[in-house]
Amino acid sequence: MIFTRPYWGMEGGPAPGLRQNIAGFLSAYGGILFVDHPLIGLAFLGATFWFPNVGMSGLLAATVGMGVGHALRLPYAASGVNVYSSLLVGLSLGAYYVLDLRLALLIVLSAALTVLLAAVLRDVLWRLGRLPVLSVPFVVVALTTALAAATYDGLVPYYLPSQPPPAMIEGWIDQFFSAMGSTFFTPHPLVGALLFLGILLRSRYLALLCLAGFTAGQLVFEGLTVDPPPGLLEWTGFNFALTAMALGGIFTVPSVPSFVFALVGAGTSAIVTGALSQLLLVYSLPVMALPFLLTTLTLLAALRLRVTTSPPTLLLEHPGLPEYNFERARLARARLGSLGSVPLLAPFLGEWQIYQGFDGKHTHKQQWRYALDFHRVEDGRSASGDGSQLDQYYSYGLPVLSPAYGLVAAIEDRVPDNSPGDLDRRNNWGNFVMIQTDSNLFVLLAHLKQSSVRVKEGERVTPVTPIAACGNSGRSPQPHLHLQIQRHGRLGGATVPFHLVSAIVCPQDAAPEYRLVASLREGDSIQRADEDALLAGALHLPVGRSLRYALTQDDGSTSEGRLRVEATFLGELRFVADSGASAAFEHRNGTLGFYDRQGPADPLLDLWLLALGLTPLSTLASSWRDRPSAQLFPLSGWDRLALHALHPLDAGAESHYERRWSDADREWTQSGIHELHFGAHRRARTIAVLSPEGGCVTLELDCAGRRTRAELLAVGQLADRGVPAWEQEFSPVRTPRTPTEA
């Protein structure tokens, strides 16, 4: 998906240093509750020492897990499943037995086995259905060691897991907090309260899911279970909360359907908890996190098998905190339209008009409702003269381009063109080209000119490949081009929704505007927003590029900041500031788009994202709109509190951009007006000055009287191995050539 997973640096790059190892180690403590942050992890580590025996056992296991991961050079050696699964194994053993040399040996061996099992299961579950490994290695190893420890001589019991925690506050609250503490094998209300506070600080929505999931699971558990053993809910209730958090916020986009789905999962987890507690009691084994794992993995696998794009929307490849998931989905909807609609580029050059749209009054009905017909119009007419001859029509004979990447699946090139006003009812589609796209859908371009098809079956085509000429064959009263998408390669199959991307749209009742997603009506005109080489060069961001700016605030204070381009292990490009804040970006279909903002507040990066977050690289694009995150606004503390209260996940600003070229200054000026409504109304203005050879030389922001200006000082490029000449830094040049119109 273009233009919309948390970023932790260049995975797969050089071995992390001590600081990164410590941060990853601490984050793994928080990762048990899906809030992997070093400071929160440090608090959670301290909470495990409520019972020092438990805390020391867990710390030993986590350290061994990280060491084994590093020694074997396994992925995520210093963080993630290697550390937190080993940690949980150590905590479980420390909860049952006194830490001595015998137990320490068992912890070391168990932690090492957990890391190896995690590496295997991570690969197996991903191949089976892109499922997360979660804490499966911990449960497998912990249950194994629990069975094995019963046969060992010399292990001293620490305390009974069925021992009820002390009453601290009030019945239900004590029960909830004790259950949360049991996640770390420390069922004490104060420990659980600290853990819940960590969740709340990291994600309010995740905290809500935690409370709602426990409540739903408790109601089901107590409603169906007759005389449960004392303390069972305190030791197992965390399963309900974890299930709801995973299903409703981490692996799906937050929504009403996903929230309901999470509550259903929590109730199901309660049923599984009751069943497993009876089954494992026979072997004197604890339930641990087995209900959470069985329920969550089963429901995620089932959700993945759906054939609809309606919520709950699954995020197995890119899980994250609910706020991140919601923001990515919000931005994707704003920029990319409906998830069920297929993007295509316009299949022609120049400006064409919609002759018949979706649900058109002539032929776009029933299963063929999602189709567009295009023709050329000048001064309201599609032909010159009296329109009696084909060559009088402006569309006739014009080149038709492939609108997508794919393979030519079928062609027809022998049907004669009709005289204007006539129809060929035996060959409805006339001459056509059918393209099987890389996403395994089929694009049909029909009514082509006889003997004009320039491609062969099986030939590879791209969005710039000429495939034929516009004609008047088949059921076509005047020359036009028919475009539709089908799920199958049968001629005339049922259509599916689609939209055109990166185009200049001129509605009948409005001025022309660039649209990344073009939803069209009959009578609208559209043309491709082809990329301009000079404008694209001004915003070219190769890996290793760095931009150094002088930043001036409205109080006169100055500072320097640097933005650099890095590539992640998976090939994602990110724009990274000195503060560690970053955003991913893509350059596709003639458009530069930034998304997935991560990290602390950074005035330089946020100014860049607000001013240039979505930038078409076509000189035809002089006006367009976007919905950037409200977090990019330089709001006051009170404004941010109000925004968080009214929009707990996130909100989007309404941004309108305009860009003009100045022959005198020989630069583009890209201005943006950004409006934010959250009870109050806030307005910001940005200006970016772009030089074809100097790049983005100036950035300005004016918001509520607060002004920020960034001046480009130097452009740098990091050297690569074997190419030392790449290492350079130069001042921007502001004497470009005159741009060429696309």
For residues 218 and 178, the answer to whether their CB atoms sit within 8 Å is no
Query: pLDDT tens digit string along 467-476?
Result: 999 999 998 8
Sequence-ordered list of residues with C-beta below 8 angstroms from that of 286, at least 6 positions apart, any chain = 92, 146, 161, 235, 280
pLDDT at residue 729, rounded to an integer: 62
Q: Do residues 117 and 234 share a domain? A: no
Say if residue 120's pLDDT is above 60: yes
For residues 409 and 454, the answer to whether their CB atoms sit within 8 Å is no
Q: What's the rounded mean pLDDT across residues 212-241? A: 85
Q: Do residues 348 and 307 share a domain? A: no
Strands (E), 55-119: none
pLDDT at residue 400, rounded to an integer: 95
pLDDT at residue 2, rounded to an integer: 35
Q: Do residues 131 and 91 share a domain? A: yes
- 332 lies in a domain? no
- Looking up residue 431, the CATH number of its domain turns out to be 2.70.70.10
Q: How far apart are CA 522 and CA 657, in angstroms?
A: 26
List helix spans (H) across 543-599: none
- 553 lies in a domain? yes
Q: Residue 617: how many CB atoms within 10 A of its CB?
A: 24
- 25 lies in a domain? yes
> What residues does 585 pair with on adjacent strands?
573, 594
pTM of the model: 0.78
Q: Residue 597: how many CB atoms within 10 A of its CB?
A: 24
pLDDT at residue 385, rounded to an integer: 84
User: Residue 282 corresponds to which amino acid?
Assistant: V
Q: Do residues 363 and 424 share a domain? A: yes
Q: How far apart are CA 348 and CA 519, in angstroms?
A: 17
Sequence-ordered list of residues with C-beta below 8 angstroms from that of 17, at least 6 positions apart, any chain = none
- 413 lies in a domain? yes
- Which residue reads 């929160």 in tokens? 40
Q: Do residues 517 and 570 share a domain? A: no
Report how many domains make up the chain: 4
Looking at per-residue pLDDT, the higher value among 649 and 34 belongs to 34
Say if residue 256's pLDDT is above 90: yes
Structural tokens at position 712: 């480009």
Query: pLDDT tens digit string along 185-209?
Result: 988 889 999 999 999 999 999 999 9
Q: What's the rounded mean pLDDT across residues 559-564? A: 93
In eight-state DSSP terms, residue 495 is B
Query: pLDDT tens digit string along 610-649?
Result: 999 999 999 999 999 999 988 888 877 777 777 777 777 7
The confidence band for 13, taking pLDDT boundaries of 50, 70 and 90, is: very low
Sequence-ordered list of residues with C-beta below 8 angstroms from that of 29, at least 6 positions apart, any chain = 40, 41, 42, 44, 45, 48, 62, 84, 87
Q: What's the rounded mean pLDDT across residues 561-586? A: 90
Q: How far apart are CA 408 and CA 116, in angstroms?
A: 47
Helix (DSSP H) and strand (DSSP E) numbers for the chain: 17, 26
> Whole domain around residue 250: which residue ranges?
203-320
For residues 551 and 558, the answer to whether their CB atoms sit within 8 Å is yes
Say if residue 87's pLDDT is above 80: yes
- 325 lies in a domain? no
pLDDT at residue 6, rounded to an integer: 37
User: Residue 416 corresponds to which amino acid?
Assistant: P
Q: Do residues 257 and 347 share a domain? A: no
Nearest to 135 by CA among 260, 239, 215, 5: 239
Query: pLDDT tens digit string along 587-603?
Result: 988 899 999 898 888 99
Say if residue 733's pLDDT is above 60: no
Mean pLDDT check: name the lowest of 221-225, 398-402, 447-451. 221-225
pLDDT at residue 55, rounded to an integer: 93
Q: Tell how far CA 239 is from the center of its chain.
A: 27
Structural tokens at position 662: 């100045």
pLDDT at residue 10, rounded to an integer: 32
Q: Do residues 147 and 254 share a domain? A: no
For residues 568 and 10, the answer to whether their CB atoms sit within 8 Å is yes
Q: Residue 296: how many CB atoms within 10 A of its CB?
A: 26
Q: Tell how far CA 196 is from the center of its chain.
A: 26
Q: Do residues 129 and 214 share a domain? A: no
From 111, 137, 165, the end of a domain falls on 165
Q: Do residues 508 and 550 share a domain? A: no
pLDDT at residue 1, rounded to an integer: 31
Say if residue 508's pLDDT is above 70: yes
Q: What's the rounded mean pLDDT across residues 371-396? A: 89
Q: Do residues 225 and 131 share a domain? A: no
Q: Do residues 148 and 220 share a domain? A: no
Sequence-ordered list of residues with C-beta below 8 angstroms from that of 342, at least 6 positions apart, any chain = 439, 441, 485, 496, 497, 498, 499
- Looking up residue 157, the CATH number of its domain turns out to be 1.10.3430.10
From 498, 528, 558, the end of a domain falls on 528
Nearest to 302 by CA among 339, 340, 268: 268
The confidence band for 141, taking pLDDT boundaries of 50, 70 and 90, is: very high
Phi first, then psi, for residue 123 (nearest 5°) are -70, -45
Q: How far apart are CA 547 and CA 732, in angstroms?
A: 10
Looking at per-residue pLDDT, the higher value among 7 and 287 belongs to 287
Mean pLDDT check: name the lowest of 236-250, 452-466, 559-573. 559-573
Q: Do residues 613 and 508 share a domain? A: no
- 261 lies in a domain? yes
pLDDT at residue 313, rounded to an integer: 87
Q: What is the largest CA-CA distance in the chain?
A: 104
Looking at per-residue pLDDT, the higher value among 518 and 5 belongs to 518
Q: What's the rounded mean pLDDT across residues 394-421? A: 93
Query: pLDDT tens digit string along 301-336?
Result: 999 887 666 788 888 888 889 988 898 888 888 887
Q: Tell how far CA 353 is from the center of its chain.
A: 34
Structural tokens at position 99: 């830490």
> What residues does 625 pair with on adjacent strands?
656
Q: How far apart are CA 250 and CA 202, in angstroms?
A: 13
Q: Residue 129: how many CB atoms within 10 A of its CB?
A: 13
List helix spans (H) across 455-554: 533-538
Q: How far apart are CA 536 and CA 514, in angstroms?
A: 16
Looking at per-residue pLDDT, the higher value among 578 and 338 belongs to 578
- 327 lies in a domain? no
- 422 lies in a domain? yes
For residues 669 and 681, the answer to whether their CB atoms sit within 8 Å is no
